[in-house]
């Protein structure tokens, strides 16, 4: 599987170096790495040039003005090529050398869909980390929160079917895309119960100072796809029903549409096996 990695960046030379090193460490060599640089004024160009010289894969440095992260991601998508796309921000990193390989194995089960896993959220202010898992994904959980972009490997076919990220959004464009993919188009997905990336907290979607603006944007996205009835049921599901076995079936008002085309896997050695926790559905 030919996987292209896309990294939007802007004046993050210090953290970008660590991001690139995590890509270099992968046992599955990327097909191409597209770095979309919003005319950084720091040492980004020097770091990318050095990276280009030492890697066995193609590195494309797009240095031009963009209109936000989703505009940059769309530009990277057009330049990427390959069978699958992985978006890695300039202050995040792949967790382990086999992260990309495991995501590729998961995606091989649904070559026209997406694969996603868990992420480790790092708080630079406190120096602490915690796992954000995505084991529960259905229409009701998506009406409450998204799947981390850093946890997701997108097939080229899925990107072409669902379309570009909404560049008019500042922080919820990947959330909007995920709802279109899993809810509107019913694309197949595989969830891997394993952390594959380190996501650094503190961006627009996690900074408390920006929380109100981000939540307002999420509500704009939610209003596009979910009725007040579904959103109300999602709230009740989050507060109670998701915590018990078969909660999505037992939640009052449960609908067939609440069940998305998602299967769960765990990694044992070099194999991906069905996750027994999926049978309990909580």
Kindly state whether residues 116 and 229 are assigned to the same domain: yes
- Of 158, 72, 146, the closest CA to residue 115 belongs to 158
Predicted confidence at residue 205, as pLDDT, reads 46
Predicted confidence at residue 125, as pLDDT, reads 82
What is the phi-psi region of residue 165: left when phi exceeds 0, alpha when psi lies from -120 to 50, beta otherwise? beta
- Of 6, 166, 153, 174, the closest CA to residue 81 belongs to 6
Kindly state whether residues 111 and 196 are assigned to the same domain: yes
Domain boundary among 50, 73, 92: 92
Kindly state whether residues 232 and 190 are assigned to the same domain: yes
Kindly state whether residues 56 and 173 are assigned to the same domain: no
Kindly state whether residues 136 and 217 are assigned to the same domain: yes
pTM of the model: 0.94
CA 35 to each of CA 59, 100, 113, 136: distance values in angstroms, whole numbers, following the listed order: 7, 17, 24, 32
Q: What is the pLDDT of residues 1-14, one digit of tens each?
A: 999 999 999 999 99
Domain boundary among 74, 92, 110: 92
- Tell me the residue length of the chain: 282
Predicted confidence at residue 81, as pLDDT, reads 92
**Which two structure tokens, joined as six digits, stand for 275?**
């996750």
Kindly state whether residues 259 and 119 are assigned to the same domain: yes
Kindly state whether residues 54 and 101 are assigned to the same domain: no
Host domain of residue 68: 1-92
Which CATH number goes with the domain that contains 197? 3.90.550
- The enclosing H or E element of 211 equals helix 211-225
Domain boundary among 44, 70, 92: 92
Kindly state whether residues 192 and 145 are assigned to the same domain: yes
Q: What is the pLDDT of residues 73-102, one digit of tens each?
A: 999 999 999 999 999 999 999 999 999 999
The Cα–Cα gap between 122 and 14 comes to: 16
Which CATH number goes with the domain that contains 19? 3.90.550.10
Kindly state whether residues 58 and 5 are assigned to the same domain: yes
Kindly state whether residues 212 and 259 are assigned to the same domain: yes
Contact assessment for residue 110 and residue 38, using Cβ atoms and an 8 Å cutoff: no
Kindly state whether residues 222 and 170 are assigned to the same domain: yes
Block means of pLDDT (10 residues each) for the chain, length 282 residues? 97 96 98 98 97 97 95 97 97 97 98 98 88 94 93 98 96 96 98 96 58 84 96 94 92 94 93 92 77
- Of 132, 86, 135, the closest CA to residue 107 belongs to 86
Count up the domains in the chain and report the number.
Answer: 2
Kindly state whether residues 83 and 99 are assigned to the same domain: no
């Amino acid at each position: 599987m030919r996987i292209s990695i896309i990294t939007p960046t802007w004046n993050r030379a210090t953290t970008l170096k660590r991001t690139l090193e995590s890509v270099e460490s992968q046992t599955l060599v990327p097909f191409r790495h597209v770095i979309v640089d919003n005319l950084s004024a720091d040492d980004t160009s020097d770091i990318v040039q050095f990276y280009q010289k030492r890697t066995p894969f193609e590195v494309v440095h797009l240095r031009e003005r963009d209109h936000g992260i989703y505009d940059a991601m769309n530009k990277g998508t057009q330049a990427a090529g390959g069978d699958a796309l992985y978006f890695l921000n300039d202050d995040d990193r792949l967790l382990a050398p086999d992260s990309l390989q495991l995501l590729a194995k998961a995606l091989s089960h649904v070559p026209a869909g997406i694969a996603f896993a868990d992420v480790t959220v790092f708080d630079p202010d406190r120096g602490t980390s915690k796992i954000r898992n995505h084991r529960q994904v259905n229409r009701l959980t998506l009406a409450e929160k998204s799947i981390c972009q850093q946890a997701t490997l997108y097939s080229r076919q899925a990107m072409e079917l669902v379309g570009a990220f909404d560049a008019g959004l500042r922080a919820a464009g990947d959330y909007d895309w995920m709802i279109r993919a899993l809810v509107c188009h019913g694309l197949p997905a595989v969830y891997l119960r394993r952390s594959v990336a380190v996501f650094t907290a503190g961006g627009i979607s996690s900074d408390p100072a920006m929380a109100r603006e981000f939540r307002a944007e999420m509500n704009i996205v939610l209003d596009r796809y979910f009725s007040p009835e579904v959103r109300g049921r999602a709230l009740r599901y989050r507060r109670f029903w998701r915590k018990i076995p078969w909660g999505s079936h037992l939640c009052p008002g449960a609908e067939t549409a609440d069940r998305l085309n998602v299967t769960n896997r765990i990694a044992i050695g070099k194999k991906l096996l069905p996750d027994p926790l999926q049978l309990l559905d909580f």
